Amino acid sequence: MRLILIGYGVVAQSLTKILTVRKQEILKRHKMHPRVVAIVDRGGLALNPKGLDLEKVEATKKKYGSVAAIPEYGSPGKTAQDIIENLDAEVVIEATPTNLNSGEPGMSHMEEALKSGKNVVTVNKGPLALALPALSEMATYNDVHLRFGGTVGGGTPILDFGKKCLSFDKLIAIEGILNGSTNYMLTEMEQHGTTFEEALSEAQDKGYAEADPSLDVDGLDAAAKLVIMANWFTDKEVTLKDISIKGIRDIKPENLKEASERGFAIKLIGRIDEELKVGPAELRKSDPLCIGGTLNAVKFQSEFAGDEIIIGKGAGGPETASAILRDLLDIREKM
């Protein structure tokens, strides 16, 4: 299986490390031989139709800041658009940063890959939040697969669980804590009485929140994940504009303290039922969904199985890279 890897940040670097260290195990257990033929980052690209030496790629990236610095295979200044259509490969892995305004550049990468008959695996929520129904239709039309298991829950198989385990049941509602950064902040504010600003600063210092935290604290990241879940689990064809969204900027320590005295915790909750909504809500502390720290948790309410909850890390390089591998295996089996 030949792979084109677009974006070479923490998740993609974790993926190439896993492919290097677990190469024989992946081949033996899954009869899959992933071969990365091109990697694109902001500095350019590295390309070898026979397969790149991933250890050399990793060392070059660390030393020079771009894979394009590899002498024999590097091309500084080249972009993904220079290779997606014409380079022979079965799968394009799109791992560029999320952009919820236009979805770019990930949107163009995915559209071009699908139109050229290549399967796509993505961890980029932007294009999916804005145009998942259209991208799914494009994949079907071109007889290829679009997979995005790492976009919700990182390495926690939330999408796989809901799709496969509940495929013969009727989903009534889905709700969950979908953003680890805000969950950490609300936990700190409740337990230590810190202000929103202090909790945000701590989250940024620990790497849980970006310098521009708006995607997290304004509920946009959770809303993007809700869009993906609604399209994947239900017949709803929705995009980000269909979600009612409210973040946590207005939550104060006294709000959390008052709720705690009544046996509740305030969490940023995404919910799918008659409507799609993201916003602060009270959960009983005895509710299994009421988890703390940076964890994500999703509760599926179904007609026959009742309530089922899946909890796990919502982000992280190796964790999300493991989701990419699950998607690659799924595509290989279908091919």
Residue 155 or residue 200, greater confidence:
200
Tens digit of each residue's pLDDT (9 = 90 or more) over 51-61: 999 999 999 99
Confidence of residue 32 (pLDDT cuts 50, 70, 90): confident
Q: What's the pTM value of the predicted model, to 2 decimals?
A: 0.91
Same-domain pairing of 120 and 32: yes
What pairing do the DSSP bridges indicate for beta strands 91-94 and 119-122?
A: parallel
54: containing domain: 2-155+317-334
Q: Structural domain tally of the chain?
A: 2
For helices 106-115 and 125-141, angle between their N-to-C axes, nearest 10 degrees: 10
Same-domain pairing of 326 and 244: no
Catalytic residue among 61, 225, 277, 299: 225
Same-domain pairing of 179 and 298: yes
Same-domain pairing of 236 and 298: yes
Same-domain pairing of 165 and 306: yes
| Tokens encoding 312 | 């796990």
Other CB atoms within 10 Å distance of the CB of residue 260: 14
Confidence of residue 192 (pLDDT cuts 50, 70, 90): very high
What's 326's domain CATH number? 3.40.50.720
Residue 67 has pLDDT above 90, yes or no: yes
Average pLDDT over residues 253-265: 96
Residue 166 has pLDDT above 80, yes or no: no
Catalytic site includes residue 225: yes
Tens digit of each residue's pLDDT (9 = 90 or more) over 95-152: 999 999 999 999 999 999 999 999 999 999 999 999 999 999 999 999 999 999 999 9
Gap between the Cα atoms of 257 and 293, Å rounded: 17
